[in-house]
C-alpha cells in the first residue's frame, strides 16, 4: 500500500507533537518539584540560583516548565539540597507529601 508524502509528513508532525507534549509534561513535573524544594528550604529563586551557580532567570524558566533543567544543575541541586536523583523522576510519586506547606 503506497502512502503519499503528505500522509507521511502528517504522521511525522503528529509524532513530534506527541513527543513535545510528553517533554513539556516532564519539564513541568520537574519544575514543580524544584519549586517545592526551593520553598521548603526558604529560598528565593535568586538565592537558589546563587547556591547552584546559575542565573535566577533559569530557575524561573525551570519552575514554570518552559525549559529542562540541564544535567549539570540537577547534580548541583542534588548536592546543595541533599536530594536523590529520584526526587526529579516523574514516576516517583509523593513529592507533594514531602512539602505539605507548599501545595499549588
pLDDT for the residue numbered 104: 46
Domain membership flag for residue 104: no
Domain membership flag for residue 100: no
Domain membership flag for residue 64: yes
* Residue 67 DSSP label: S
Q: What is the CATH number of the domain that holds 35?
A: 1.10.260.40
| Lookup result for grid cell 507534549 | 21
Domain membership flag for residue 60: yes
Q: What is the pLDDT along the chain (104 residues), one digit of tens a residue?
A: 456 788 777 766 665 565 566 677 888 888 989 999 999 999 999 999 999 999 999 999 999 988 889 999 999 999 999 998 888 876 766 555 555 554 44
- Total domains in the fold of the chain: 1
Distance, in Å, from the CA atom of 66 to the CA atom of 28, rounded to the nearest integer, reads: 8
Parent domain of 75: 7-87
Domain membership flag for residue 38: yes
Distance, in Å, from the CA atom of 53 to the CA atom of 91, rounded to the nearest integer, reads: 28
Domain membership flag for residue 46: yes
Distance, in Å, from the CA atom of 36 to the CA atom of 2, rounded to the nearest integer, reads: 52
Domain membership flag for residue 20: yes
Amino acid at each position: 500500500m503506497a502512502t503519499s508524502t503528505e500522509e507521511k509528513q502528517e504522521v511525522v508532525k503528529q509524532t513530534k507533537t506527541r513527543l513535545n507534549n510528553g517533554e513539556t509534561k516532564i519539564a513541568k513535573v520537574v519544575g514543580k518539584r524544584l519549586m517545592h524544594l526551593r520553598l521548603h528550604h526558604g529560598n528565593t529563586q535568586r538565592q537558589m540560583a546563587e547556591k547552584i551557580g546559575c542565573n535566577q532567570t533559569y530557575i524561573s524558566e525551570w519552575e514554570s516548565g518552559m525549559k529542562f533543567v540541564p544535567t549539570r544543575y540537577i547534580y548541583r541541586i542534588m548536592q546543595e539540597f541533599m536530594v536523590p536523583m529520584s526526587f526529579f523522576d516523574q514516576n516517583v510519586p509523593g513529592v507533594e507529601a514531602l512539602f505539605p506547606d507548599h501545595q499549588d
